[in-house]
Amino acid sequence: MSLEAPPLARVAEREAWSERPVQTEYRPPHPLDLRRTVLAQRHGAGDPTFCVTPSVIWHASRTPEGIATLALRETSRGVIRAAAWGPGSAWALEQMPSLCGRDDDPSSFDAEQHPLIASAHHDNPGLRIGRTDLVFDALASAIIEQKVTGMQAFGAWRHLVRAFGTRAPGPTPRPLFATPSIEEWRHIPSWAWHRAGLEPPQSKTIVRAARHGRALVQSIHNAVDGEAVDRVLVSQPGIGPWTSAETRIRALGDADAVSVGDYHLAHQVGFALTGSRVDDDGMLHLLARWSGQRQRVIRLIGASGVIEPRKGPRLHPEDHRAR
């Protein structure tokens, strides 16, 4: 498998990362849209844990066994060829099929209940809901995204991961960084949160969660279903239904999670399914017919390209970092 960086990048990284990668293959038993599935985990185009080239998806993560860089390439026959570098490479390769949606089960999904969903399902047979199994990373990113625009959240994520994460191994086309450890999240100084553009409620929630991070992660892995995970998460101060849903979607691939309280989601779902905006209660009513598969419906609405026309000015958030 050829997953090499361009020549200049190879020369620059040769001394620092001379180890050979561990490699494997995954042959999905179903159609797989690799990019749509894996890049659902990316926090904006500038996410320092991801790099995407025309042929390879590169992803850095802090696994339970150490930092790893994973490189994924799809062959013309639909085989996913993977290479990994770093002390967490074995874990990353073993987990990789789950990242690619292996554990996602759409067998109970009835797309024919709405023509738009049926059409999107037909046009996107490879749409899968993947999972990272990295609970605290998903939780921290969801807290960062609370009550701010995507632009603000992605910028804060970039700043914090680059400043407090760890340079990832491998011949990546550009430097990638693994996320901070739980302890590193806990000890980020107050001025750094402010410089990243986050407000005290967000930073305090992450620090508070990190104090009990390992026990919290273990409780989530021990939970028997999505409802039990939700109860664990919302029992934590500063974590509500929206943050819980976003965490479950990314870390656990919860195909039924709905991010209630999202600024745009209810409007988007309502417009796609009825042609008119609805509130959260209206959205839940519309999605009820797909109980167990509601996140899949939301993903298909996103893939359909149906978007409510914008009628107002874009929000231009204030920047308080210099104050």
Q: Is the same domain home to 153 and 55?
A: no
Other beta carbons less than 10 A from residue 54's beta carbon: 4
**What is the radius of gyration, based on Cα positions, of the chain?**
20
Distances (CA, A) of 20 to 3, 89, 200, 266: 12, 11, 43, 47
* Residue 258 falls inside a structural domain: yes
Enumerate residues 6+ apart whose C-beta is below 8 A from 156: 144, 148, 196, 197, 198
* Residue 311 falls inside a structural domain: no
Give the mean pLDDT of the chain: 91
Burial class, 126, CB count within 10 angstroms (exposed 0-12 / middle 13-18 / buried 19+): middle
* Residue 64 falls inside a structural domain: yes
Q: Is the same domain home to 80 and 220?
A: no
Helix (H) or strand (E) holding 230: helix 226-234
CATH at 33: 3.30.310
* Residue 128 falls inside a structural domain: no
Other beta carbons less than 10 A from residue 9's beta carbon: 15
* Residue 126 falls inside a structural domain: no
* Residue 175 falls inside a structural domain: no
Residues (pLDDT < 70) of the chain are: 1-18, 311-323
Q: Is the same domain home to 213 and 102?
A: no
* Residue 44 falls inside a structural domain: yes
Q: Is the same domain home to 89 and 195?
A: no
How many domains does the chain contain in total?
2
What range does the domain containing 19 cover?
Answer: 7-106
Q: How far apart (Å, rounded) are the C-alpha atoms in residues 46 and 241?
A: 27
Q: Is the same domain home to 161 and 277?
A: yes
Q: Is the same domain home to 64 and 155?
A: no
Q: Is the same domain home to 87 and 155?
A: no
For 97-110, the pLDDT digits (tens) are 999 999 999 999 99
* Residue 317 falls inside a structural domain: no
**Partners of residue 84 on adjacent β-strands:** 22, 70
Q: Is the same domain home to 91 and 152?
A: no
For residue 25, report the phi and psi dihedrals to the nearest 5 degrees: -130, 150
For 281-311, the pLDDT digits (tens) are 999 999 999 999 999 999 999 999 998 887 6
Contact predicate 34/57, CB 8 Å: yes
pLDDT of residue 148: 80
Residue type present at position 75: T
Q: Is the same domain home to 100 and 140?
A: no
Between β-strands 57-63 and 50-52, what pairing exists: parallel, antiparallel or unpaired?
Answer: antiparallel
Q: Is the same domain home to 250 and 149?
A: yes
The pTM for the full model equals 0.89
Q: Is the same domain home to 141 and 266?
A: yes
Residue pointed to by tokens 């874009």? 314
pLDDT of residue 317: 52
* Residue in 45, 48, 39 with CA at minimum distance from that of residue 69: 48
